[in-house]
């Protein structure tokens, strides 16, 4: 075994019996204003993170890095989503058929469940259309904006429920107007 | 034997080639030569040109050429109606809080009186437009929950339940709009 001293990355790519992908990929900027999006399906308005060719991170022989198993964001999230969805079904009619004394309480439960359902749904949409792999920090900002917006909307509905007639009350009033 | 086989073949080919070559040499070949110029670019500059060229290239059609099917039509509609309803919910909650900042008030009496002032046809139109996303998303949501129980997952069942949802949506939103 001879010890080879490799002075430069170009020399390294020539010395290795592979395709020299590392030298090519090293020359393509992956961040910043010159980042090249590989396949732009959307407008690409915020600077997108350039994806490695073929989506290969590292070399072709490296295993794909998968996120660690996490029940909170995995199976528990799924179950909670379905529980909320099932719970909403009777709640859509309940405020309209309950008597005047109970209606605000039932309506509050409907609004809370609806907001949680909307939060989960919008989260899925952000994951689909503003992926972290391509948008990086913008994705995180959108997630936090969603959480903040949901909490503020919840507070708004709390005010609406106490100072006004609530969601189902508004729908009934507007429908009869 | 192998060497004997090779040599005549090569000789023939050489002969053939040389005869071809001699024929060719009789005809003067005029080749017009263009001078090629090149400029040296850094990898960053080359990448910039590549990005600019990509903007000029057409993209392949996808949604416009995919065969319309009840599977992906209803799936897309489920998402679109969900987003519309969520936008409405968030608009109501945030609007009630922040409308006074802009000089408006989004109380239920204000909304009801503004809606009541519209002509009957427009009121019916708006009610249908509001009822349709809600009923479709609700019924299709039930269809999704049924699928989560690992039932009605064959192609026929998906089509059957899909048309059921469409029928129920049409009937329910009409009934709601007429109320």
Instruction: Please give the full DSSP string across A29-84, using - where no structure is assigned.
Output: --SSTT---SS--S---SPPPPPPGGG--S-TTSPP-PPPP-TTTTHHHHHHHHHH
- Per DSSP, A34 falls in state T
Give the nearest partner residue to A122 out of B86, B138, B144, using CB atoms: B86
Query: Has residue B95 been placed in a domain?
Result: yes
CB–CB of A170 and B112 under 8 A? yes
CATH architecture of A71-176: Up-down Bundle (1.20)
Query: Has residue B3 been placed in a domain?
Result: no
Say which CATH number the domain at B133 has: 1.20.1300.10
> How far is it, in rounded angstroms, from Cα A19 to Cα A167?
63
CB–CB of B44 and A165 under 8 A? no
Contact in structure between A49 and A30 (CB atoms under 8 Å):
yes
Among B131, B133, B134, B162, smallest CA distance to B146 is for B162
How far apart are the CA of B27 and the nearest CA of chain A, in angstroms? 44
- Portions of chain A given CATH number 1.20.1300.10: 71-176
A interface mutation test: which of B50, B58, B89, B173 has the most A CBs within 10 A?
B89
Give the nearest partner residue to B96 out of A121, A156, A174, using CB atoms: A156
> How far is it, in rounded angstroms, from Cα B82 to Cα B76?
10
Query: Has residue B37 been placed in a domain?
Result: no
- Inform me whether the C-beta atom of residue A165 falls under 8 Å from chain B C-beta atoms: yes
Give the nearest partner residue to B86 out of A37, A121, A165, using CB atoms: A121
Containing domain of residue B128, as a range?
A: 70-178
Give the number of C-alpha atoms closer than 13 A to the C-alpha of residue A96, restricted to the C-beta side.
11
- Inform me whether the C-beta atom of residue A16 falls under 8 Å from chain B C-beta atoms: no
> How far is it, in rounded angstroms, from Cα A89 to Cα A47?
41
A129 annotated to a ligand binding site: yes
* pLDDT tens, N- to C-terminus, chain A (177 residues): 444 444 444 544 444 444 444 544 444 444 444 444 444 445 556 778 888 888 888 889 999 889 999 999 999 999 999 999 999 999 999 999 988 888 899 999 999 999 999 999 999 999 999 999 999 999 999 999 999 999 999 999 999 999 999 899 999 999 988
């Amino acid at each position: 075994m001879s010890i080879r001293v490799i002075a430069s990355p170009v020399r390294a790519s020539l010395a290795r019996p592979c395709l020299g992908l590392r030298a090519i990929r090293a020359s393509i900027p992956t961040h910043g204003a010159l980042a090249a999006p590989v396949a732009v399906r959307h407008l690409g308005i915020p600077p997108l993170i350039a994806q490695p060719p073929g989506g290969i991170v590292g070399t072709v022989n490296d295993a794909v890095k998968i996120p660690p198993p996490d029940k909170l964001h995995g199976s528990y999230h799924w179950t909670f989503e379905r529980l909320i969805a099932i719970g909403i079904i009777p709640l859509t009619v309940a405020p309209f058929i309950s008597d005047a004394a109970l209606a605000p309480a039932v309506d509050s439960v409907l609004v809370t469940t609806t907001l949680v359902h909307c939060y989960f749904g919008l989260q899925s949409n952000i994951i689909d259309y503003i992926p972290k792999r391509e948008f990086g920090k913008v994705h995180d900002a959108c997630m936090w904006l969603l959480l903040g917006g949901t909490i503020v909307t919840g507070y708004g509905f709390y005010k609406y429920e106490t100072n006004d007639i609530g969601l189902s009350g508004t729908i009934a009033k507007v429908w009869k107007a | 034997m192998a060497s004997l086989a090779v040599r005549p073949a090569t000789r023939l080919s050489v002969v053939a080639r040389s005869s071809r070559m001699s024929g060719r040499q009789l005809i003067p070949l005029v080749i017009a030569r263009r001078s090629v110029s090149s400029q040296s670019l850094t990898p960053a500059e080359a990448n910039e040109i590549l990005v600019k060229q990509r903007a000029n290239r057409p993209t392949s059609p996808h949604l416009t050429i995919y065969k319309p099917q009840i599977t992906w039509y209803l799936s897309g509609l489920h998402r679109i109606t969900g987003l519309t309803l969520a936008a409405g919910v968030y608009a109501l909650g945030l609007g009630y809080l922040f409308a006074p900042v802009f000089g408006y008030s989004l109380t239920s009496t204000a909304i009801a009186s503004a809606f009541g002032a519209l002509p009957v046809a427009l009121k019916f139109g708006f009610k249908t437009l509001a009822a349709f996303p809600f009923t479709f998303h609700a019924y299709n949501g039930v269809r999704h929950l049924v699928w989560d129980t690992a039932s009605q997952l064959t192609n026929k069942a998906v089509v059957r339940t899909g048309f059921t949802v469409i029928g129920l949506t049409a009937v329910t939103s009409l009934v709601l709009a007429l109320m």
